[in-house]
Structure 1
Amino acid sequence: MRKWGLTLLAVFLTIILTACNQNDSKDEDKKETSEKTSQKKEASQDESGEGFKALKEKELNSQRNKKTTNDSSDNQIIDYTDKQKIAMLLFQPGLDDKFITADDVLKGEYQSKFSDGVKKKHLPKLTVTSLPENTQMDNTPTGTKFYNIQPFPSQYSVNIAMNEHNMIIFGSQSPIPDYNELLHGLDGMAKVYKTKDVIKSEKDNPKLKEVEDKVDMQ
């Protein structure tokens, strides 16, 4: 009898423990479900509430700032005259071998490289003459202006093609059939610079005004 009593007690305890474990499992499931529901609710509130609005406002502000920066750069180009931009162009690197530079203008002399050899010549001013629209050059961007620069440092005629995107100084002995040839360097006889970069690099140059004063626009 005692043995049977112990057996019944063990069975009874096992049943109780099993029931408790099942209740704990159910409670845990309920807790997990409740947490997931709460997270979904919070996410939904973020998308329609203050957090989402703040994020959208931040994105809009970023877009506005980018547009303002671009507009400011465009206005910066307009704010300078062609004479000022040409003076800025003369300060750019890479002009030494084939073109008259800002340093030449400041010194008042340049090197003439013709068939009779290299000679130093006096440079009281740089004459820049506006040229008519070049209708024979294909693919020329709208608004491109052409200028001729004298004196020539060599047998090549020196010209400038400039628009809101690029400033190109180039030497040639014959008409250029396509603007893209200038963009590609014209076999070493053209130097291409971004207009915005030229202005950004030289607008505060303390020597700019001195060079500008020696540029004679015609």
Structure 2
Amino acid sequence: MKKRYLVSALLGSTLLLGACNQGDDGSKHHSDKKESSHKTEDKKSHKNDSSKSKNHSSNSNDDNSKSHKSKEQEQKFDKKQHIAMALFSPEADKYSITAKELLDGEYEAPQSGNSGNTKSVSNLTLTKDSSSVTNTPNNVTFYKTDPAKPDGVSLIGVSDKEIILFGAQSTFTYDEVRQQGKVLKIKDLEKKYGDEKNLDKVAKKINIADNNQQQTEDTNNTQTSEFYARVWMSVIKNSNVSGLTHKDVSEEPLNPYNKNATAKFPDGMQFLSADVTAAGQVYYTNNNDGTITVYSVPSHFQDKRWMEDDYSKSESERILNNGKVYKLVNSSDPDVKVLAKQFDEDGKADSSSQTSSSSSKGESKVTRDNVIDKVEDYEGHKLNTDKYTYKEPEKTEDGNWGFSYTDKAGTLRGSYKVDGNGNVTKYDEKGNEI
């Protein structure tokens, strides 16, 4: 009986241990499943986080790209700003008023014998120019500037890709302008001066004028003392003169000493002169666009070749075919006002003098232009320019005209005096009347 209880106890114990082991395995299996589930969730979570991170990075890049594009769009410059950039370049000083001069409010404007002369400037006005540069491409526009710093016309050429700076005294081809002027790439200008702090200040001082308005202003009142004064100051640049006169010389022979073998002045040719030859003279035509064309006509035709038909004809034609273009100074220039008054006064004096002379003797007034004629009439022949050198006639304080002459070695040989009535007196080298 005891054996039976012992066997039963052993069997029960064995069953109990088996159940326990089975329970442990189930628990382990359940734990493994739970851990596997957590790992799967972690992977999904990591995947989602990674995806979100990528999306965020992508969105961030897109935002940066948009911001960059927006910044580029904000950096677009207009025509005035591009021109202003060109005026900041060191090369601008040779051709135009510079950005610094616009900011300072003054620029150098040298006159004859006065290199330190300065003038005030508040704005730079650009007017379309279609006459100074030939063979210009359709995508390029040239503007003349007012004021113009160098002698002649300051030109600024503008296209989508380039700014061209140039100073013209006559007509040039587009290729010549590119070779002799300064060509500035707009991309380079933007890189160098796009962040210039005073760029907008200079750009605001640049005015692009309506061409029709400018032409109307410049073509009106061209036969006034003020306009003559503007011409004189544009070319001679000296207001310290006297005896200023004006004459319309249209269709007159350029060489008055060989009228049958010389070109004639074109219609509209005007002539300005002063009492003293050394003060200068101006033969010009008005271009009706704020500029004039000036011609280098000799004050006297002392070269004997002017009496030769072939030379006279070819040289006179050459002179008329090679005029130089000058930009007219502003009518507000103080020197213009001074000279205009002088033209008025001299004009009245000339008029009354000519009336008196014609009523008394029927002869023309003695002027710088006909002094040589009076002397040649007195001598009965042309002056001998092969043997002597004749000085330019000058008006003396007593109102008479006179000039001296030397031999080719420079030794004084004599002089002439012509009074207001045209009477000639000749003197030897010692000043004794002959």
**Normalised TM-score (structure 2):** 0.29
Question: Quick one: which of 103, 107, 128 aligns to 1:106?
Answer: 103
What do residues 68-90 of structure 1 show as CA deviations (whole Å, max 9, x unaligned)?
A: xxxx9xx98x9432212111110
- The amino acid of 1:81's aligned partner reads D
Give the direction of change, closer, same or farther, for the CA distance of 1:131–1:96 in structure 2 (3 Å limit).
Answer: closer
| Inter-partner Cα distance in structure 2 for 1:170 and 1:205 | 23
Question: Quick one: which of 96, 112, 115 aligns to 1:115?
Answer: 112
Does 2:146 correspond to 1:150? yes
Does 2:83 correspond to 1:92? no
Give the direction of change, closer, same or farther, for the CA distance of 1:147–1:156 in structure 2 (3 Å limit).
Answer: same
Any idea what SS the aligned residue of 1:161 has? strand
Give the direction of change, closer, same or farther, for the CA distance of 1:163–1:129 in structure 2 (3 Å limit).
Answer: same
Question: Quick one: which of 175, 181, 190 aligns to 2:176?
Answer: 181
The answer to whether the 8 Å contact 1:166/1:195 transfers is: yes
Give the direction of change, closer, same or farther, for the CA distance of 1:128–1:207 in structure 2 (3 Å limit).
Answer: same
- Gaps (5+ residues) in structure 2? 1-68, 210-434
The answer to whether the 8 Å contact 1:102/1:211 transfers is: yes
**Normalised TM-score (structure 1):** 0.56
RMSD value over aligned CA atoms? Answer: 2.5
Structure in which a larger fraction of residues adopt helix: 1
The corresponding residue for 1:81 is: 78
| Inter-partner Cα distance in structure 1 for 2:102 and 2:132 | 32
The corresponding residue for 2:125 is: 127
- The amino acid of 2:105's aligned partner reads G
> Could you list the runs of 4 or more consecutive aligned residues of structure 1 that deviate by over 3 angstroms after TM superposition?
none
| Inter-partner Cα distance in structure 1 for 2:121 and 2:184 | 25
Equivalent runs, 1:150-169 vs 2, <5 Å: 150-169=146-165
Query: Could you tell me how far 1:156 is from its partner in structure 2?
Result: 1.9
What do residues 132-163 of structure 1 show as CA deviations (whole Å, max 9, x unaligned)?
A: 4x69712x333101111111123221011121
The answer to whether the 8 Å contact 1:114/1:155 transfers is: no
Query: Could you tell me how far 1:117 is from its partner in structure 2?
Result: 2.5
Any idea what SS the aligned residue of 1:171 has? strand
What do residues 111-136 of structure 1 show as CA deviations (whole Å, max 9, x unaligned)?
A: 0023352211111111112234x697
- The amino acid of 1:87's aligned partner reads A
| Inter-partner Cα distance in structure 2 for 1:154 and 1:126 | 14
The corresponding residue for 1:46 is: none
| Inter-partner Cα distance in structure 2 for 1:90 and 1:206 | 14
| Inter-partner Cα distance in structure 2 for 1:158 and 1:81 | 21
Percent identity reads 33
Equivalent runs, 1:1-218 vs 2, <5 Å: 79-118=76-115, 119-132=117-130, 137-138=134-135, 140-176=136-172, 178-185=173-180, 190-218=181-209
| Inter-partner Cα distance in structure 1 for 2:103 and 2:132 | 35
- Gaps (5+ residues) in structure 1? 1-71
| Inter-partner Cα distance in structure 2 for 1:174 and 1:153 | 16
Aligned length: 137
- The amino acid of 1:158's aligned partner reads S
